[in-house]
Structure 1
Amino acid sequence: MFRTLFLSVISASALAGSATALEVNVVLDGGDDALKARLENASRLAAADETGTATSQDYAAAALAEYSIMVGVLYEEGYYGPKVNVLLDGTEAVDLDPFELPEQFSKAEVRVQTGPVFTFGNATIAPVAPQTTLPEGFASGQKAQLDVIRSTGQEVVSGWQDIGYAKADLTDQTIVADHPNKTLDVDLGVTTGPLLTFGKLVISGNRNVREERIKAIAGLPRSAVYDPDILQQAATRLRDTGAFRSVSMRLADEISEGDKINVELRVSEAKPRRFGFGAELISQEGLELSGFWMHRNILGGAEKLRLDFAVGGIGGVTGGEDTMLKTRFERPATFDARNTLFAQTLLERQNEPDYISDQFRADLGITRWASEFLDVEYGIAYRRARIIDGGSESYFSQLLFPINATYDKREGGASATGGYYLKGEVMPFIGLNDTASGTRSTMDARTYLSLGESTVVALRGQLGAIEGAKVQNLPADFQFYSGGGGTVRGQSYRSLGYGDGGGATFLGASAEVRQGFGGSLGAVAFVDYGYIGAEPSMTMDGSDHTGGGLGLRYETPIGPLRLDVATPLSGDSVLGKLEIYIGIGQAF
């Protein structure tokens, strides 16, 4: 015996009725608690009074929709012979006269009899692309869940699209329920269409960004076999320029001559200019003010020009005031769609307790977009520095060859709740005019783990090493120090070095437990560790220190406001002083 369930939904009239709360009860015969929870969560009646203004007409309409909603959930779980009753004050919803509804309803009962669980009898789909693996649940004798049928169809269609059959689609579906045998026979057919290659990129919506530059950034390879990953990468590159507020790509409806498929790209341009300001206050180091100005389409080809400035150490007791001015120009799609050319200059003064550094640096290089999460940057730089250290003045000229890679797979935006972040840099340098040569390497690794709804554990490790040159022969700002924000909170800024200067090795570790209290407020407990050594290897001849404390976080649209209070956990002043750190954004 075969049965097909037909449902009709009757529209309720817009007669006025009094708003009233409704008691909704789902009664399940068969299944388990998990199924009951799914039914309750899906219930239209239970959600009908979210605004507190539902009328009897609203409840009647929701009750009529409840039949198909409940049956849909049951089909997804493999129940193809269910019985559903929806009662409003004891009357079946389909028997209600929409023109003679009571002023209000007080109680709703949804009675669900699941019937038996169905299993797959025959379960077939064809044709299937090479290398495509069907879901394990799509097989004779397995529970006949509707989601398994859907995912099987999607998996097979995606398998064909992944190898160039862009118009592959599920075109035939024969699904028969055998109620006496409690089985579901499923036969799915896929039409692959021809193997397609990329055709034209048809662009619309651009006003100020030139079309040829958009095509260069997208980098769609004409006449290459269609690949959906190439489309996704092209859209990501366009978004990453910052020149566009939105990017949408879709395939043309019709196949062009020669089995080519055109791609329709619609963009909406972002406002080209942007600026921002920031501030950070640390009890010993003082106030730092920073800002930037940026143009995201300076030459009409999504080129970016950014100016950054900062003044730090205002009112601090560790050294004097620091200043920084940086310019950076970026041109996407240079030599290759995945390459961004950059040119950068830096003017900076660091007025530290042990030295004063004035430097000029100019960089030229390429940022290589390797994937959605991975960027690689390499280039060449010239650096000229004047160091005033202990009353003596020294000049250093260097050629730098920085190579760095950043892998960013954090989840949750400015306040990460999961994932990880890795950044490493290897920078060979050649000293000019008797300046030492060698290699300076750094690494920063972070990971985030959610524990429940509102608790996050954040861990960070940092490494640094100088090889090939004696640290005392290098500029002081090339050496490694520890202490203060960014390394060990609670310890004085750059208080740990080696001898009279910095070290050749740095090891840092930080752990935070971040607890949200609901809404925007949260708290943090943290501990930081730092080690400085004289040699590139981690030997026992170095020094270390530890700090820790508590903090508050308040989420805002521009990022969390951060207040940390820390104290030394090692050294001569354990718990003997407090350092305060105020800023925008998490510590890491």
Structure 2
Amino acid sequence: MDRRLYWLAVALTAASPAHSQINQQPRAPAQGPDTRDVEPEARDPADAQGDEIVPESELNSALPPLSDDINAPLEPMPADTAPAPLPQAPATAPASQVGDVIPPVAPEDPALSAPLEPLSNFNTAPLATAADLPAEDAVEIEYETVVTGLDKLGLDDDWRALSALREGDGEAGNEIQVAERAREDEALAVRLMRSLGYHDATASSTVEPIPGQQKLRATVNATPGRLYTLSSVNVQAGPTTPPNLVREQLPLKVGDPIEAARIQGAEANVRLVLPQRGYPFVEVGERDILLNDTGPEATGDYTLPVETGPRSSFGVLRTEGDPVFDLDHLNIFPRFEAGELYDVRRTDDLRDALVATGLFSSLAVEPVRTGRPGPDGTEQVDLLVRQARGPARSLNGEIGYETGRGLRAQAQWQHRNLFPPEGALIAEVIAGTQEQGVSGIFRRSNAGRRDRTFTIIASANRNNYDAFEAFTGTLAVRWSYDSTPIWQKPFTYAYGAELVGTNENVFDFARNERDRRTFGIAAIPLQAQFDQSDDLLNPTRGYRLKLNLSPETSVQGSVRPYIRGMVEGTYYQPINDRLVVAGRARVGSIAGVDRDDLAPSRRYYGGGGGSVRGYGFQRLGPFEPVSSLEPDEEGNIDLADLRPIGGRSLNEFALEARYRFGDFGIVPFIDAGNSYESTLPRFSDLRFGAGIGARYYTNFGPMRIDVATPLNPREGDGRIALYISIGQAF
């Protein structure tokens, strides 16, 4: 306490006798409606006794001197200046005395004076909550979900896909969490109904226990209300050629429901079609729909602003960035001429063709305004090609297994632009149980014109099959017009020339044994294909028709010209979204030469994964005579040791039911076919195989596993055949 205030209290106590105040009888103030106010002058003089005022000078003189140092310690109070003790109240107050009696002070609690416990002795671990419990110990509540009112609108599936209640799988931490999910689904139900044009839609939810079960039921009730329809469709756009082009491409009419998907699709159609009709810079503005809910029918006025931009025609190509191709090579790719009316599909086609080269890390083709006048009042626009160079080298491979052919692996390294522009060098290695080889390939893509490829091939191979063993060297040139996975063409072709030298073992019927011969072969292979299927690697609709012709000359002591030919057709028919029926027929013939004068590697064989499944690779057709086999120690002859010798004709048929679910598929199939010694195939000696396959669909094509068995096997044929590869069988 401040010393100055202390001594002030002492002085006041000394100047005012306390006994006169304590002994004074108190009087209650007058009360009641008749009580008169007491004027100050009417106070009893006795009541004013002791009300003396101490002068300030006397008070200051009674105070002890104070130090100017506010930090000085308090001085001890002299004994003679101690304040007089206050008089004690009587033990029993008179009956007329008004006031409270002060109770005696309770004894001090010993715990208050005890020293504090050290902090280190306290348990500072936080209290565990339900959220801190292990997952297996967490208390969960189960619930079931019921939704009403959406089934008639066809929104049940959409609601299930987005529902917070459904996403919880019927479990939650507590009832509050279930209620929150139900409220989220209320808003979801309203959004879904409004998306169909029910803009007055409401929804409510309840969460209640199920009687007799430790379970809750969450119910969402949806009420769609009235369906709003278009009362007018207005387009705000400048003049176009032809007139009303924008309105004609907006497929909305009065009376249509104000459905989000319908309106967004109509606006997307404007964005899609106008750039195809000469307006590359079209901009579709924000729609405005004014709802009218006061009339007898719920309607809305629809207004769409569209900025068409100038009607345009093609100009020239420009390029910028890290160039892969110069303008001379870029101008090989466009399928349009300068001055033609702009069509965004031609722009997309140019970009796709450039992407197919595989030489860009990123690529963009976009129209640029020039202000130059074009024909028919158009404005010419140039196409700006933004190039970014990508890696030119790549390494890829494939591996497969086939009963009768064994394991086969192929690896390929290529530099796609070693000889610019688009001059590729390719090195290829084949390693397998029955085939080994190396090859070097030079390939010039888009050679002189778009999609034309020039190829030079040099290869050396060893093949060791049941039908023949051959060491073959090949030198070939080829011009082709091919499809790619990015750009599938309806018509492709190829032509070229081959020089082949091969040393093979041939069965000599005169000697009834095999002998080795060397053949020199010159060929002019020709190929044409009509492709009306919807996919190059996994077709589901359409057909293909392919023709191969190869006039050849075999030099083996003498020149023997002949011609090899084959026709193949495939057809694909979808039954529904998951099931496709696929069929194939193939017929081949070799004319102009005896079979025994043909190199075995140029003959036709049936059987295998790409032929008649269930039979071994190349094991359909004529075989060596049984007399060529030697009996074992017990005098038995194993017909499985007979080796095929091939024929001059072939026929094959296949039928598959391709059922797909997600990324997987099941394919039951039946195949038929054979090869024949005659020039033309016969249909009276077909061999059948059947089986089932599994498919795993990837972004580069399906992975295929087929298991098959022969239905009318010959003696020596195996019972089960397995095939593993990439791509469909056909």
With the shorter chain as reference, the TM-score category is 0.7 to 0.9
Question: What letter matches 1:373 in structure 2?
Answer: Q
Is 2:220 the partner of 1:78?
Answer: no
Name the stretch that deviates more: 282-291 or 483-492.
282-291
Aligned ranges 1:145-544 → 2 under 5 Å: 145-171=259-285, 173-179=287-293, 180=295, 181-188=297-304, 190-199=306-315, 201-203=317-319, 206=322, 209-212=324-327, 215-216=330-331, 218-219=333-334, 221-252=337-368, 256-258=371-373, 259-312=379-432, 314=433, 321-357=434-470, 358-367=472-481, 372-374=487-489, 376-386=492-502, 388=504, 389-390=506-507, 391=515, 393=517, 395-405=519-529, 407=531, 409=533, 416=538, 418-419=540-541, 422=544, 424-431=546-553, 434-438=559-563, 440-443=565-568, 445=570, 447=572, 449=574, 459-466=582-589, 469-470=592-593, 472=595, 474-497=598-621, 501-513=645-657, 525-533=668-676, 539-540=682-683, 543-544=685-686
Summarize deviations over 1:126-148 as a string: whole Å, max 9, x none. Answer: 77866999589733334443333
**Counterparts in 2 of 1:233 and 1:114: CA distance versus 1, 3 Å:** same
State the Cα deviation string for residues 194-252 of structure 1 (Å, max 9, x = none): 22133454545547x34447724643755543211112211221221122344443444
Q: Cα offset for 1:545? A: 1.0
CA contact (8 A) 1:339 1:369 kept: no
Q: How does 1:13-28 map to 2 (within 5 A)?
A: 27-28=147-148
Secondary structure at 2:477 match in 1: strand
Counterpart among 121, 129, 147 of residue 231 in structure 2: 121
Aligned 8 A contact 2:145 2:219 in 1: yes
Taking a change above 3 Å as real, the CA distance of residues 24 and 352 of structure 1, as seen in their structure-2 partners, is closer
Secondary structure of the 1:79 match is: coil
Q: Compute the displacement of 1:400 (Å).
A: 0.7
C-alpha spacing 1:263/1:361, structure 2 compared with 1 (3 Å): same
SS at match of 1:32: helix
From the superposition, tell whether residues 496 and 37 of structure 1 become closer, same or farther in structure 2 (CA, over 3 Å): closer
Measured in 2, the distance between the counterparts of 1:530 and 1:573 equals: 17
Q: Distance in 2 between matches of 1:53 and 1:210?
A: 62
8 Å CA contact 2:437–2:459 kept in 1: the answer is yes
Q: What are the superposed Cα offsets for residues 372-406 of structure 1, whole Å, 9 maximum, x if unpaired?
A: 32161323112324364222635343231422337
Instruction: Determine if the alignment matches structure 1 residue 568 to structure 2 residue 710.
Output: yes
Q: Provide, for residues 274-296 of structure 1, a one-character-per-residue CA deviation record: whole Å limited to 9, x for no partner.
A: 22344333343333232211223
TM-score by length of 2: 0.62
Structure-1 separation of matches of 2:539 and 2:451 = 29
Give 1:7's aligned residue.
Answer: none
CA contact (8 A) 2:422 2:446 kept: no
Cα offset, 1:260, TM superposition: 3.2
Matches within 5 A, 1:137-152: 138-152=252-266
Contact 1:387 / 1:476 at 8 angstroms: preserved in 2?
no
Distance 1:547 1:340, change over 3 A: same
**Could you say what secondary structure the match of 2:155 adopts?**
helix
- 1:139-167 residue CA offsets vs partner (Å, 9 max, x unmatched): 33344433333333333443332122112
Q: Is the 8 A contact 1:78 1:117 kept in 2?
A: yes
1:311-367 deviations in Å (ceiling 9; x for gaps): 34x2xxxxxx43333333332332223333333334334344344443413023132
Distance in 2 between residues matched to 1:244 and 1:585, nearest whole Å = 26
In 1, the alpha carbon distance for the partners of 2:241 and 2:170 equals: 47
Q: Is the 8 A contact 1:214 1:238 kept in 2?
A: no
**As a proportion of its length, which structure holds more helix?**
2
Is contact 1:275-1:293 (8 Å) kept? yes
**Contact (CA 8 Å) 1:213, 1:301: kept in 2 or not?**
no
**1:274 aligned counterpart, secondary structure:** strand
Report the counterpart of residue 579 of structure 1 in structure 2.
721
Q: How far apart in 1 are the matches of 2:206 and 2:230?
A: 36
Following TM superposition, by how much is the alpha carbon of 1:300 offset from its aligned partner in structure 2, in angstroms? 4.5
Which residue pairs with 2:121 in the alignment?
none
Distance in 1, Cα, partners of 2:693 & 2:411: 25
Distance 2:534 2:383 in 1: 31
Does the 8 A contact of 2:363 with 2:388 survive in 1?
yes
Task: Report the Cα distance in structure 2 between the residues aligned to 1:214 and 1:47, rounded to whole angstroms.
Answer: 55
Q: Report the Cα offset of residue 443 of structure 1.
A: 2.1
Q: Distance in 2 between the 1:418 and 1:133 partners?
A: 36
Query: Which one-letter code corresponds to 1:236 in the other structure?
Result: D
Instruction: Look up the SS of the partner of 2:227 in the other structure.
Output: coil
- State the SS of the aligned residue for 1:484: coil
In 2, Cα distance between the equivalents of 1:140 and 1:517?
41
Q: Which moved more, 1:155-164 or 1:560-569?
A: 560-569
Kindly indicate whether the alpha-carbon contact (under 8 Å) linking 1:462 and 1:506 is maintained by their aligned counterparts in 2: no
Instruction: Give, in angstroms, the shift of residue 169 of structure 1.
Output: 3.3
Q: Give the aligned residue type for 1:403.
A: Q
Distance 2:164 2:316 in 1: 46
CA contact (8 A) 1:491 1:567 kept: yes
User: Normalising by structure 1, what TM-score?
Assistant: 0.74
In the alignment, the residues of structure 1 paired with residue 286 and residue 576 of structure 2 have an alpha-carbon distance, to the nearest angstrom, of 45
Secondary structure (helix, strand or coil) at the match of 1:418 reads coil
Deviation at 1:409, TM superposition (A): 4.6
Where 2:345 maps in the other structure, the secondary structure is helix
CA distance in 2, matches of 1:476, 1:360: 16
Task: Identify unmatched segments of 5+ residues in structure 1.
Answer: 1-15, 91-105, 315-320
CA 1:210–1:133: 2 relative to 1, 3 Å: same
The CA deviation string for residues 524-553 of structure 1, in whole angstroms up to 9 with x for no partner, is: 54432113356666654x632122334556
Which secondary structure state, in structure 2, belongs to the residue aligned with residue 162 of structure 1? helix
RMSD between superposed Cα atoms in Å: 4.6
Note closer, same or farther for the CA distance 1:56–1:347 as it changes in structure 2 (3 Å cut): farther
Change (3 A) 1:273 1:471: farther
Task: Determine helix, strand or coil for the equivalent of 2:565.
Answer: strand
Pick the structure with greater CA Rg: 2
Paired residue total: 541
Deviation at 1:452, TM superposition (A): 6.7
**CA distance in structure 1 between the aligned counterparts of 2:669 and 2:399, rounded to whole angstroms:** 22
Closer/same/farther in 2, CA of residues 188 and 307 from structure 1, 3 Å limit: same
